[in-house]
Amino acid sequence: MLQECRQHTEESAKLDIPPLPLNAQQTSQLSELLQNSRQKGKQKPSCSCSGT
């Protein structure tokens, strides 16, 4: 999921357009990743799909 997000962001940058916001499924997946990483004490995954 994160790889797809990064790829989309890179493609959008090449076209000089902002990336699309996360859809409901992507938001759910990212939330799950963050919760799992927090429980395991790992770093939070980073994603710039929302352009922030």
pLDDT band at residue 47 under the 50/70/90 scheme: low
Structure tokens belonging to residue 34: 């963050």
Give me the half-sphere count of Cα atoms (radius 13 Å) on the Cβ side of residue 5.
18
Return the pLDDT at 49. 65
Question: What tens digit of pLDDT does each residue of 12-36 get?
Answer: 999 999 999 999 999 999 999 889 9
Task: Supply the angle between the helices 2-14 and 24-40 in degrees, to the nearest 10.
Answer: 130
Residues 6+ apart with CB under 8 A from 38: 44
DSSP reduced 3-state for 20: coil
pLDDT at 40: 77
pTM for the predicted model, two decimal places: 0.59
Torsion of CA 32, 38, 43, 46, to 10 degrees: 30
